[in-house]
Each structure stands twice: as structure tokens, then as C-alpha cells.
Structure 1
Amino acid sequence: MNWIPLTDEKQLAEIVETSQEKPVVIFKHSTRCSISSTALNRFERAWDSENTPAYYLDLIAYRPISGQIAEQFAVEHQSPQVLVIDKGACPYSATHWDISVDEIKPYLNA
């Protein structure tokens, strides 16, 4: 998986810009949570959309960015959480055991 580390709030503007051309995925992960680790592992094993930019946010190291994501895309902060950003909006998000590559795919090919 070719994660793009999400380490700066300024990257959110890049995500919005990129999403005008193609959907972008953000995976919010808590490195202290076993559920989050399991969800991340399942996601990475199933991921096959190498043409889709995929950002990885370490919530422990960059918690303020998660708050900015929640505000900017009108989603409640959760961990773990996956979001699809398309045309600057978040048409899909899932948390915990609901995180599934198969559920995301229709939003990547829209």
C-alpha cells in the first residue's frame, strides 16, 4: 500500500484539489487501539486501487488534523475511520468493523 502520510493541515487543501479530478481516501488510525490496527490490516490486505491517492493519518501524533477533517468534511471524529473525498466533499465514511474496501469501491469509480 502506498500511503501518503497526512502530517500537516495544509495537506487538506491538496486533498480537496486532487479530489476534483479523482476520489481520495483518508484512513484515520490510532496506533494505540487494537481494533484500529485490525481494521488497518484488513484494509491494506484488500486494497487494490493503486491509482487512488490514499492518505494515512496517525491520530496519536497528529490529533488536531483529525479535528480539522471532522470540521471541514462534516463527519464526526472516529477511530479508526476511513473517508472518501470526492469533489471536495465526503460522500462516504465508515468506522471500526464497517471499514471495507468493497464498500468503498463504488465511490472510487463514480
Structure 2
Amino acid sequence: MSTTSTYDKATHRIQSNLETLIRQYFIDESTNTLLPIRSYTELSSDAKRLYKPLTKGALARLAGVRPNVITEICHLQRGTLNIYHLSSIAEALKIKNINDIIELR
């Protein structure tokens, strides 16, 4: 008899891409402007000083969710995924496809 719960089985089929996605952006915290890494590399060194790597906390502020929500999604520690949280994160990162954040294998 298997002791693996339905939650454990489902979690093994879900992959979070959020942490990888966060590393692909820089943020100007004074204006909350996101900049993809490709555009960041093209900036002058003076302009680069305005931007810092995006953090989970900064993304939480942009998306209007609690910071622990971002961490729990990154590490798949949530029992349920709230569509409001996912849509807020997608909107903050200007993502049209939810599979960029979470994918089902």
C-alpha cells in the first residue's frame, strides 16, 4: 500500500519557473520599472546604476501579494495555487502565458 498522498503526486507533476523568471529582470525601485536582462545589458553604465536585480520581495510589492506567496510558489510549498496570485504575478511581469510561471508535466 502506497503512502504517497494525492497532493504529493500532483506536486511532482508541477514545476515552478518563477525563480528562474525573477532572475531575468532588473528593477528601478524608485519607479517600479522592470527591465528584461537583454535590455539591461544594452544600457550605459550610468543607467545601470538605477537598476537592481529583481528580488522576490520586490516582485511581491509589484504584484500586490505577500512575499511568502512568492517564496511558496517558487518552492512549490503551497497546497493550492490561487488564480488571483498567479494572475497578479503574470500582470506584474507582463506575462501573457501562465505556463511561463507554472507548468504541468
Please indicate, yes or no, whether the TM-score normalized by the shorter chain is above 0.5.
no
Shorter-chain TM range is: under 0.3
Q: Tell me the TM-score normalized by structure 1.
A: 0.25
Q: Which has the higher strand share?
A: 1
Q: Tell me the TM-score normalized by structure 2.
A: 0.26
Q: Which has the higher helix share?
A: 2
- Return the index of the structure with the highest Cα Rg: 2
